[in-house]
Structure 1
Amino acid sequence: MIDIAYAMAPPSGQGGGDNALIAFLPMILIFAVFYFLLIRPQQKKAKEHKSMLDELKKGDAIITQGGLYGKIVSVSDNVVTLEVADKVRVKISRAHIAGLAPAGIDQNP
């Protein structure tokens, strides 16, 4: 009978809640690590990309996600017209712009 008494959980008034917190502590720490190492930087990068897309204007040199370099000829809500060579214009979705082209690259050979 004494062996069974040791195997039983302590009465609710004697600190049984501390064990629950200690049991969840590793999961809380793992979530915190994932948040600060993965989720937060990804959200920051997405916010910067969205603000870059909102600030596009005529004359900006850009690169698309497909690797196409060009200069913006016109901008509308969802479509951007690029000039990739003399008198060669391409319409692309605004969402498929990877970023501004690095300085020093000649977009129109």
Structure 2
Amino acid sequence: MLISNAYAQTAPAAEAAGGASMLTGMLPLVLMFVVLYFIMIRPQMKRQKEHRAMIDALAKGDEIVTAGGIVGKVNKISDQWLHLEIAPGVEIQVQRSSVGQVLPKGTLDKNAA
């Protein structure tokens, strides 16, 4: 009878230790997710937000470089498309999302000379 009482008294302590070890086992996984968020996910979301703001701020006359490397001046803007003048009298149509960079004003004039 004394032995069974001893086992009954240690059972709750063993369950508490099992719960603590489960928390300790999950801690590295949680820490890895936090590190992944701050190193990869958050900077990518910031770049997407900046790119969206750049595309929304485009105006007629802006000089841009597309993701494919085409340089031109914006002649016409619609919701989804841009008309770029890439040479005198040569105009192409590209998607707004393909804009990679907005150049400073006068960049194309400097390159032509």
TM-score (norm 1): 0.82
Shift of 1:99: 1.7
Structure having the larger proportion of residues in helix? 2
The ranges of structure 1 where at least 4 consecutive aligned residues each deviate by more than 6 angstroms after the TM superposition are none
- Amino acid of the structure 2 residue aligned with 1:79: W
Aligned-residue RMSD, C-alpha: 2.3
For 1:18 and 1:61, locate their aligned partners in 2 and report how far apart those are by CA, in whole Å.
60
* Match of residue 23, structure 1, among 9, 12, 25: 25
Identify the residue that residue 105 of structure 1 maps to in structure 2: 107
Structure 2's unaligned 5+ residue stretches are 1-6, 8-12
* Match of residue 85, structure 1, among 68, 87, 92: 87
Q: For 1:29-56, what per-residue CA distance to the aligned partner results, in whole angstroms no more than 9, with x for missing partners?
A: 1111110000000000001101111111
Shift of 1:18: 1.2
Structure 1's unaligned 5+ residue stretches are none
Q: For 1:71-102, what per-residue CA distance to the aligned partner results, in whole angstroms no more than 9, with x for missing partners?
A: 10010000100011111111101111112125
- Amino acid of the structure 1 residue aligned with 2:93: K
Larger radius of gyration: 2
Please give the secondary structure, in 2, of the residue aligned with 1:100.
Answer: strand
Please give the secondary structure, in 2, of the residue aligned with 1:106.
Answer: helix
Is the 1:69–1:101 contact (alpha carbons within 8 Å) kept by the matching residues of 2? Answer: no
Identify the residue that residue 62 of structure 1 maps to in structure 2: 64
Identify the residue that residue 4 of structure 2 maps to in structure 1: none
For 1:70 and 1:33, locate their aligned partners in 2 and report how far apart those are by CA, in whole Å.
40
Between the aligned residues of both structures, percent identity stands at 40
Identify the residue that residue 76 of structure 2 maps to in structure 1: 74
Is the 1:72–1:83 contact (alpha carbons within 8 Å) kept by the matching residues of 2? Answer: yes
What is the count of residue pairs matched by the alignment? 102
TM-score (norm 2): 0.80
